[in-house]
Structure 1
Amino acid sequence: MTELLLVGIGTGNPDHITLEGRKALQGADLILIPRKGPEKSDLAELRRRIVLQSVRDGMDRVVEFDLPVRDPDLPYLEAVERWHDAIAELWAVTLAAHPDAHSAALLVWGDPSLYDSTLRIAARLDPTPKVRVIPGITALQALTAAHAIPLNTLAGSVEITTGRRLRDTGWPDGAETVAVMLDGACAFETLDPDGLQIWWGAYLGMDEQILSAGPLEEAAPHIMRIRAEARDRHGWIMDTYLLRRTGVPG
């Protein structure tokens, strides 16, 4: 295999994939779809729907594989490194089983540039294939569009971080706007809510989309409740949110 195509597919709406992304799928010899177990079968099904809409004979090119599970008992960074090694090894085995394929496409949730490790995993392959990235709509684009708000304040900066870092280090010094991703435990509840506004969204772009916004002190309990309910209902959740100090010119 000589080329690996990383195609950003947005946040759940099949219409999020760009024309460039569709062309990349149409030209790929293989299309790889990871499975994350029965509880997250919707994620694989979404990828199948995108392939069916994008490529006439797409399912004939699809190769599915079961994604390894990250070890929860190891320290976080060590667990992630070992997990990425295991995924890269699985990719290598899967690709080696199709020696006549010159290109393979992976459908990346959101965009490969933003809190996604597909590029890091691809760099572990030996020999390293040529990697081409086709950007997609990010969760932050989908969130701000859903709430019809700008990402930044007037001439202001934005800090993008994770729920883990927000919980461990608190509000970033000097930040006006903080965009939070990969928060599995509602880290916003650890902040002093005084003067903070939140815009939250889950299943962005999908029929199941849920939105909530308001002063953090008022919105936080509501978000935590509907988030837990949605996770129980679907078996999985992908969400993100924006925090901003009130009184900052928009």
Structure 2
Amino acid sequence: MRKLYVIGIGAGDPDQITVQAVKAMRQVDTFFVIGKGEATRELLDVRTAILDTHLDRPYRVVPIADPPRDRTPAAYLDVVEDWHDRRSALLESAFAEVDGVGGILVWGDPALYDSTLRMIERVLDRGVVRFDHEVIPGITSAQALAARHRIVLHGIGEPVRITTGRRLREEGLGAENALVMLDGDCSFRTLSDADVHIWWGAYLGMPDETLIEGPLPVVCDEIVRRRAELRARKGWIMDIYLLRRGA
């Protein structure tokens, strides 16, 4: 493989694809897709629809099965490091089979809570395959959440903390405004008796997009219930939320 494009494709709405991303996709011969099987088949279908909409040349898709990992480990960082090693080894093998230009479509933006660039660094460090690579930014789920709720992510002159559900449980809110990603446990429940407002969104930009907002003590149970219903029906969920003190 001569070159790899790592392309941010937004939170799920095909209209969020930038002109720069379209130009990059049109240079690609082979797209590599790491998937989790039939449970997330819809995510592959969305990627394929994006490609079919914007490409006017033949292309190939190489699916790569995502290796399993412990989702509730005692040593979180060690488990993730091992998972990244196994993922990068699979990518390395796939890259070695391609003669041309490759591409990876990344939900949101490759710079925000995504491991693709870290895995590519591991592949290049091993030196078995060599290639140039370029990163194309995308619209993040944070931007999509703010746009759909018609809000600004922070008060005037205030900071925004971007964190995970695990860190929220361990450290609390930690700022006037906290944007929480990767939360499979509804960690906002640990703050449900506080003077906090929440703006929550799932499947942003997709047909099943769901939005809930309000004082956290009022809407907490509704979000937990609705999230469980959606996940049970679809088999997967992608969601994000903003918390703000005293709103």
TM-score category by the smaller chain? over 0.9
Deviations 1:1-29 (A, max 9, x none): 23221100111111111111011110012
* CA distance in 2 between partners of 1:118 and 1:35 (Å): 13
When the two chains are superposed, the root-mean-square deviation of aligned CA atoms in Å is 1.4
Deviations 1:119-176 (A, max 9, x none): 111100133532211000101000000000001111111111000000112121xx11
Aligned to 2:136: 134
Q: Distance in 1 between matches of 2:14 and 2:38?
A: 21
1:45 offset after TM fit, Å?
1.1
Q: Write out per-residue CA displacement over residues 191-221 of structure 1, whole angstroms, 9 at most, x where no aligned residue.
A: 2532100000000011100000000000100
Cα offset, 1:71, TM superposition: 3.4
Q: Which residue of 1 aligns with 2:223?
A: 223
Matches within 5 A, 1:65-214: 65-72=64-71, 74=73, 75-98=75-98, 100-101=99-100, 103-125=101-123, 126-127=126-127, 129-172=131-174, 175-214=175-214
Structure 1, unpaired ranges of 5+:
none
Asked whether 1:62 is paired with 2:61, we answer yes
Percent of aligned pairs with the same amino acid: 46
- Where structure 2 has 5 or more consecutive residues not aligned to the other structure, the ranges are none
Q: What TM-score, normalized by structure 2, do the two folds share?
A: 0.94
Figure out how many residues of one structure are paired with residues of the other and give that number: 242
**SS where residue 183 of structure 1 aligns?**
coil
Give the 5 Å matches for 1:20-31.
Answer: 20-31=20-31
TM-score where L is the length of structure 1: 0.93
The secondary structure found in structure 2 opposite 1:123 is: helix
Supply the distance in 1 between the matched residues of 2:113 and 2:39 (Cα, whole angstroms): 22
Query: Is the CA contact 1:9–1:137 (under 8 Å) kept in the aligned structure 2?
Result: yes
Give, in whole Å, the separation in 2 of the partners of 1:167 and 1:133: 32
Q: 1:147 to 1:73 in 2, by over 3 A?
A: closer
Q: Which runs of 4+ in 1 moved over 3 A?
A: 71-74
Q: CA–CA distance in 2 between the matches of 1:37 and 1:29?
A: 23
Deviation at 1:61, TM superposition (A): 2.2
Partners of 2:193 and 2:164 lie apart in 1 by 18
Paired amino acid for 1:241: Y
Instruction: Report the 3-state secondary structure (helix = DSSP H, G, I; strand = E; otherwise coil) of the residue aligned with 2:26.
Output: helix
